[in-house]
Amino acid sequence: MMKIQGKKLVTKKNSKGFTLLELTISLFLLLILSLLLTLILQTTIKTSRNFLDFTNYEYALAHKKILEIYNDSSKVERESNFVMMTNKDKKEEVKLVFQGDRVYIAKQKSKDFYAGYILLLKKLKSYSIEQDEDMIHITLRDREDKERNLYLKLKTEEKNKKESEEKDTDKNNDKQSTNTRESKND
């Protein structure tokens, strides 16, 4: 019986507390976990701020829509706080209106028929519309104080007709010159 008791005494451990090594390892692991948690929180806060900031996206969409209408128009002119763009093919007038802190597009099919409006930008701090000869310079300052610039060239129906006639005459001249070259080569 004595031999059995001796073995029990040897296998019995002291479980009254932590050793210094166990304590330092657990503190080191706790420190690493807390650093990882702060990094995760910082990145989620940063990405959520960037995700919730729509100003660049809003401006890009508005800019694209304005340029689509501008490219389709045959006549562009400025009147006080709006830019009038006329499309002869669709027989509609589109106004780019700057009013208060908003920019929107108002469509009119005819003078009596109003087709509605599309809101492009809102919560602008300021805007300015300047005209130099045949260029319209629009400066927008958004809610985050970023300055955006948009340049539109004035179009008139007379200029468009002259440009299209010049292109046609250039094409005809090119065709004639190639025809004469071919006949000389034969």
Nearest C-alpha neighbor of 84 from the set 60, 61, 66: 66
Q: Once rounded to an integer, what is the mean pLDDT over residues 72-101?
A: 85
Nearest C-alpha neighbor of 150 from the set 51, 54, 69: 69
- Write out the two tokens for 75: 């006549």
Residue 138 burial by Cβ neighbours in a 10 Å radius (0-12, 13-18, 19+): buried
* pLDDT at residue 27 tops 80: yes
- The residue with greater pLDDT, 152 or 90, is 152
Q: How confident is the model at residue 181 (pLDDT cuts 50, 70, 90)?
A: very low
| Cα dist from 26 to 23, 30, 35, 38, whole Å | 5, 6, 14, 19
Type and span of the H or E element at 177: helix 157-185
pLDDT per position as a tens digit, 51-77:
777 777 888 888 999 999 899 888 888
Strands (E), 56-142: 75-79, 82-87, 92-99, 102-108, 114-121, 126-132, 135-141
Neighbours of 4 (CB within 10 A): 7
pTM over 0.85: no
pLDDT of residue 180: 45
* Sheet with strand 126-132: strands edge to edge: 126-132, 135-141, 147-153
The single residue listed with the structure tokens 């948690």 is: 37
DSSP state, 155?
A: B
